[in-house]
Amino acid sequence: MIRTGLPTFLILCAWALGLFSAPLLADGIRTRVQEADDLRLDARHMVRQRAPMVLEFAAEYCTYCEQIEDEVFEPMILSGDYRETIVLRKISIDGTRLLRDFSGAIVTREDFADRYRVSLTPTVLFLDAEGREIAPRMTGVPLIDFYAQYLDRHIHQARASIAASPPTQPE
């Protein structure tokens, strides 16, 4: 009885302490890229902030995805420099949860990736609130040493595209 109860107790303790959730700082700031669940809701936020979405397509088996999360996205989140200027999300293409797309339709993550012709991970897209690509995508990790600079250049291009377009009303 004790042998079977102890693992359950330890799992419950870990869950209660938040060990199975996304890493958070003491002030509640998420340090990992948030998994996309409702892109229509995210689009409303993008319209209000006049901000593009930086959307990472990743996979559980992808070591390069983990590398850019650890070495690029996490420091970017921690810096706070992009907090008000982009919406950063991730879609795990091998995930099983369904996703609400920009139009409100419920789709699988794999079907959503197929819609954007994403076949390699990591792939990072730069999208407007209607889900249109507004800057060149980044596929793979050619040189990790320069990835943050390339990403920053693409973000600036996406923000310039948003700034040049007329404001839209949130749905």
- The whole-number pLDDT of residue 32 equals 85
- The whole-number pLDDT of residue 101 equals 97
Q: What is the pLDDT along the chain (171 residues), one digit of tens a residue?
A: 445 555 444 444 444 444 343 444 434 455 689 999 999 999 999 999 999 999 999 999 999 999 999 999 999 999 999 989 999 999 999 989 999 999 999 999 999 999 999 999 999 999 999 999 999 999 999 899 999 999 999 999 999 999 998 877 655
Q: How far is CA 39 from CA 9, 46, 142, in A?
A: 37, 10, 28
Domain residue limits at 46: 22-164
Q: State the total domains in the chain.
A: 1
10 in a structural domain: no
82 in a structural domain: yes
pTM value is: 0.80
Cα–Cα nearest to 125, from 18, 39, 26:
39
27 in a structural domain: yes
- The whole-number pLDDT of residue 16 equals 43
**CATH number of 80's domain:** 3.40.30.10
